[in-house]
Amino acid sequence: MPITVKPLDAPLGAEISGLDARNITPEDSKMIFDAFLKYHVLVLHDQHLSDAELVEFGKCFGTIEKSRIVSKLSGRDDIMVISNIREDGKPLGQLPDGEMSFHFDRIHQAKPCRGAALLALEIPKEGGDTLFSNMVLAYETLPEATKAKIAGRTALNTFTYGSTAPDQKAEAGPQCEHPVARTIPETGKKSLYVCRLMTEQINGLDGQESRKLIDELCDHAENPKFIYAHKWKVGDIIVWDNRCTQHARTDFSETERRLMKRVTIGDDRPPIQ
């Protein structure tokens, strides 16, 4: 069966068909990386990978980073387990419960990750959807006056590990400054690079003006016209370009199990203007 790349009926994303993610040739790897750059989000269905196979698949997109926490549901330090499964009342995975605000992974670090690949193993009957927003399109559709206002500016991004909403963050969390609009090196396109969960301050503006502009940019980027909402099925893999998409999670019942495994794809450079 030939491998096909079919754009989604959405503002971003493509479905990859005919590919067995357990057996990737060099030609396959190049093809899906090119699709990753073009469509920002890739969707694969009916993939049933071991942890080791998921890691090898992730290498098509770059170097695999270590997880901050090793879960007994995997035992590997290159697999991030996202789950609400508990033992003695304690979660065995990270980010276990409920809704999560829009964010870029690791934007609070000097070299945020390039992307991630997430595999669904157990999913609730309702909710727990993942939303992806096209931040290249969000930037391109900003008013020219707003583009001029953010040109050359940087923002402070902070995070408290485990937080899923802005009001859960603590001041002592790790932080880093990055461009408000960053350039994707391979394509030369600009991506809006602020998010609801983690962007704290736009540098060079007073607190009130900064907060107003962050809210304006986030409201714009979270418009449904930029968003693809993925309703998971067991065996789905989604790969996303973390440099030009932000993502969020919808709420789901705490009485239902959710188990996802992720590999984080590192980047070799910090964001550039």
pLDDT in tens, 159-186: 887 777 787 766 667 899 999 999 999 9
Look at residue 271 and tell me if it is in a domain: no
Q: According to the 3-state scheme, what is the secondary structure of the chain?
A: CCCEEEECCCCCCEEEECCCCCCCCHHHHHHHHHHHHHHCEEEECCCCCCHHHHHHHHCCCCCECCCCCCCCCCCCCCCEEEECCEECCEECCECCCCCEEEECCCCCCCCCCCEEEEEEEECCCCCCCEEEEEHHHHHHCCCHHHHHHHCCCEEEEECCCCCCCHHHCCCCCCEEEEECEEECCCCCCEEECCCCCCEEEECCCCHHHHHHHHHHHHHHHCCHHHEEEECCCCCCEEEEECCCEEEEECCCCCCCCCEEEEEEECCCCCCEC
Q: Considering its fold, how many domains does the chain have in total?
A: 1
Tens-place pLDDT, residues 182-213: 999 999 999 999 999 999 999 999 999 999 99
Q: How far is the C-alpha of 62 from the C-alpha of 60, rounded, in Å?
A: 6
- Asked whether the CA dihedral 123, 95, 266, 105 is positive or negative, the reply is positive
Look at residue 192 and tell me if it is in a domain: yes
Look at residue 273 and tell me if it is in a domain: no
Type of residue numbered 259? L
Look at residue 270 and tell me if it is in a domain: no
- CATH number of the domain that 8 lies in? 3.60.130.10
Tens-place pLDDT, residues 257-273: 999 999 999 999 999 99
Average pLDDT over residues 97-106: 96
Q: Which range among 25-29, 156-160, 237-241 shows the weakest confidence by mean pLDDT?
A: 156-160
Look at residue 156 and tell me if it is in a domain: yes
Q: What is the pLDDT of residue 249?
A: 98
Percentage of residues in the chain having pLDDT higher than 70: 99
101 pLDDT exceeds 90?
Answer: yes
Residue written as tokens 């669904």? 120
* Domain coverage including residue 64: 4-265
154 pLDDT exceeds 70?
Answer: yes
Q: What is the pLDDT of residue 169?
A: 65
Percentage of residues in the chain having pLDDT higher than 90: 93
Look at residue 27 and tell me if it is in a domain: yes
